[in-house]
Amino acid sequence: MPDFDLYRPSEEHDMLRDTVRSLAEAKIAPYAAAVDEEARFPQEALDALVSSDLHAVHVPETYGGAGADALATVIVIEEVARVCASSSLIPAVNKLGSLPVILSGGEDLKKKYLGPLAKGDAMFSYCLSEPDAGSDAAGMKTKAVRDGDHYILNGVKRWITNAGVSEYYTVMAVTDPEKRSKGISAFVVERSDEGVSFGAPEKKLGIKGSPTREVYLDNVRIPADRMIGAEGTGFATAMKTLDHTRITIAAQALGIAQGALDYAKGYVQERKQFGKPIADFQGVQFMLADMAMKLEAARQLTYAAAAKSERVDGDLTFFGAAAKCYASDAAMEITTDAVQLLGGYGYTRDYPVERMMRDAKITQIYEGTNQVQRIVMARNLP
């Protein structure tokens, strides 16, 4: 029988949740609507998270980080996403971008890049997708050619979260075209490297405060010691990374859904029709019950997956995909129902649930579409 205590938040986790929730409500929530409306980076959120050492809690203590476990990282992302999904991509993508270095990088590379990340001096992004390599990431065309003690990178990466803001980028590139996925290597590229540039921010449905841009690599010459792990291991590192970080997308979905449910609960108690609060009507009660049930089921699955991430269990791949898929589907359903419960008001930008509904949609798409998650699960049935 599994040890279910390992899935349950400890007292320290509960204290962390209280801390992050207070910070999020005081210093992030007040700017969430403006960040969305103006499609601007949530600098207030970054400043608040860095000042409280919550921007990259996953970095090990050895490199100056908080050394938080996988569940603690989930809780941070969940609580920030509850008030602003765009802001939750700061801790989430810092983990996504830097985890390849943590999992496969040499000691010198870890010291060089994890220290500034832990201090809040830099953010980390992840460059896997390309214009013609989305779900088929192994079909990427970005190349890295060895030239003495350097590699020269050329290519385009698309859908890169926080591109242009992050200082560091984990970039997957082909070093041996004959070997397909086994000919892909991982590198750390810096924003200041000559030949690195960025496209215009994408005009998106949601998470408008988190810039998504193309990253252009034009004869970018970097030292060979910036390779993460051995040549040809980059794709394996990328997939191993996603096993862990899909859980952070599940966490984001949980937070968005919780924020929508919380707002809808308050609204139906105040909104009166036919002489009484609409919360008294059974039709409304059933909707709220279903929303809460789906959310709690998603949370339990996500926390179980976080425990497996921490232990690196053999069935992590299945649970990571399942948590991301189930939680994001639930978030889309819950936020849609929240809009419905607010009626016409829910359809306006004067109320936050329409933003939450728009933000929820991306959780079904990035870090692998939910159709791809179902393929992953089918191939890794426990």
Catalytic residues: 367
Element (H, E) at 154: strand 150-161
* CB half-sphere exposure, 23, CA atoms < 13 A: 26
Angle formed at CA 245 by CA 83 and CA 82, multiple of 5 degrees: 10
Taking the chain, what is the end-to-end CA distance rounded to the nearest angstrom? 14
Residue 212 β-bridge partners: 161
* CB half-sphere exposure, 124, CA atoms < 13 A: 30
Q: How does strand 168-174 pair with strand 124-127?
A: parallel
Alpha-carbon distances, residue 308 vs 225, 318, 323 (angstroms)? 32, 10, 11
What is the longest distance spanned by two Cα atoms in the chain?
A: 80
Q: Tell me which residue has tokens 């968005």.
A: 256
- Specify the 3-state DSSP secondary structure of 166: coil
Element (H, E) at 147: strand 143-147
Q: Tell me which residue has tokens 């990035």.
A: 366
Angle formed at CA 296 by CA 19 and CA 81, multiple of 5 degrees: 40
